[in-house]
Chains A and B, each alone.
Chain A
Amino acid sequence: MSKYANPDVLVSTQWVDDHKEDAKVVVVEVDVDTKAYDEGHIPGALGWNWQTQLCDTVQRDIIPKDQLEGLLSNSGIANDTTIVLYGDNNNWFAAWAFWQLKIYGHKDIRIMDGGRRKWLQEGRDLSAEIPVVRISNYKASAADLAIRAFLPEVREEFQSPGTVLVDVRSADEFTGKILSPPGLPETCQRGGHIPGARNIGWGLACNEDGTFKAFDELEALYASNGVTPDEQVITYCRIGERSSHSWFVLKYLLGFPTVKNYDGSWTEWGNLVGAPVETGNGASA
């Protein structure tokens, strides 16, 4: 992991096995499949439900600051805790949690490379026990919006020479053949993509076992699609979760200086009246 721009943000399954009982380490599982945690998780790990605990459940938004403080306090997390996130499906929602925690300024967050799949594949210990937590008094920073893009900015920047949009959805979503993948309810009125966006599927950043590809492979993946560190990069998908995974890769593994996640994503853009839409293939990986 040493060649990554920020190698400390990734930890191995062995590292987690060795440190899961450390007083300053809190391991948290965040899954697509919110039932997976209950069947067995890393001993001592907490489970966060992305649908109810990492979203504002009233208005469409990320979790508000006060609720994040409550979640972290109730998880026994202090401001100097090392949070290790892991989850199913290539750490899809672990990356979503990582992005939100960075927005609110938590310093030491890591992702377990390979996620739940690798842990299970290696036959490591699981537990069904929910750990008893000593409640803390977490204080979050004001939201850092430098890593989050909102609609007005995307509308202004999507055709600017210094900005590149990366659409990380599947080819069928990108071209407009389908509005949303099977099993995912959030949808849109129109199919296609934001004009000029490059289609680089989020899963291409991962190996078969769910671990992240090596630095050189990731760099080549993005460079071959014209995505380079000298530009501002805005990632998007359908609701902003797959794109937080690509945001993590670009920002932390490749070290691109300016990367934002547009979590409004296609379910916002594809529902706008009068927004320009491109269909068919763009440049796709």
Chain B
Amino acid sequence: MRPQNYSVKTGEIAGVEITVTSYNIGEAFYCQISSADPGAVISRVKSSSSDEAVRKALQFARLKLSR
């Protein structure tokens, strides 16, 4: 199996700079939100679609970082 559509984007949630890493391995779509520095994992989601994986990962990250 091979990873596809690997993408790294940056953004900000609650004043924290984040990186949004997404890709799929076959039919499994992954999205991980990490702090830009040093790279601690804030949320990670596996889903059946790319959009949903990103949406849920961002949602969890917002919840966690706004506490």
Q: Taking A39-B46, A125-B1 as contacts, is the C-beta distance between A183 and B28 under 8 angstroms?
A: no
**B residues 31-67 in Cβ contact with A at 8 Å:** 32, 34-35, 37-42, 44, 46, 64-65
A127 within 8 A of B: yes
Q: Annotate A26-64 by CB proximity to B: 1 below 8 A, 0 otherwise.
A: 000000110100011000000000000000000000000
Interface string of B16-34 (1 = CB under 8 A from A): 1000010101001010101
Within the complex, the shortest CB–CB distance from A113 to chain B, in Å, comes to: 17
By beta carbon, the residue of chain B nearest A92 is B39
Contacts between the two chains (Cβ within 8 Å), count: 72
Contact of B40 with A184 in the complex, beta carbons under 8 Å: yes
Q: Majority SS of interface residues in chain A?
A: loop
**Chain B CB within 8 A of A90 CB:** yes
Question: Does chain A have a CB within 8 A of B9?
Answer: no
Q: Which of B6, B34, B35, B38 contacts A169 (CB 8 A)?
A: B38
Cβ of A135 under 8 Å from chain B: no
Q: Decide if A12 is an interface residue (CB 8 Å cutoff).
A: no
> Inside 8 A of B23's CB, which chain A residues have their CB?
120
CB <8 Å contact, A89 and B34 = yes
CB of B20, distance to nearest CB on chain A (Å) = 13
How many residues of A are counted as interface, with CB atoms below 8 angstroms from the partner's CB atoms?
29
Bound: A127/B34 CA distance, A: 24
Q: Are B1 and A183 in contact (CB under 8 A)?
A: no
Q: How far is the CA of A121 from the CA of B3 in the complex (A)?
A: 8
**Is B30 a contact of A39 with CB atoms below 8 Å?**
yes
Q: Within 8 Å CB of A192, what residues of B?
A: none
Q: Which residues on the A side are within 8 Å of B39 (C-beta)? A: 32, 88-90, 92, 203
Interface pairs A-B: 8 shortest CB-CB: A183-B40, A89-B39, A120-B3, A33-B41, A170-B37, A184-B40, A121-B6, A183-B42
A sample of 24 cross-chain residue pairs with beta-carbon separation below 8 angstroms, ordered by A number, consists of A32-B39, A32-B40, A32-B41, A39-B25, A39-B28, A40-B25, A89-B38, A90-B39, A92-B39, A117-B6, A117-B8, A123-B3, A125-B1, A126-B1, A126-B3, A127-B1, A170-B37, A182-B40, A182-B42, A183-B35, A183-B64, A184-B38, A202-B38, A203-B37
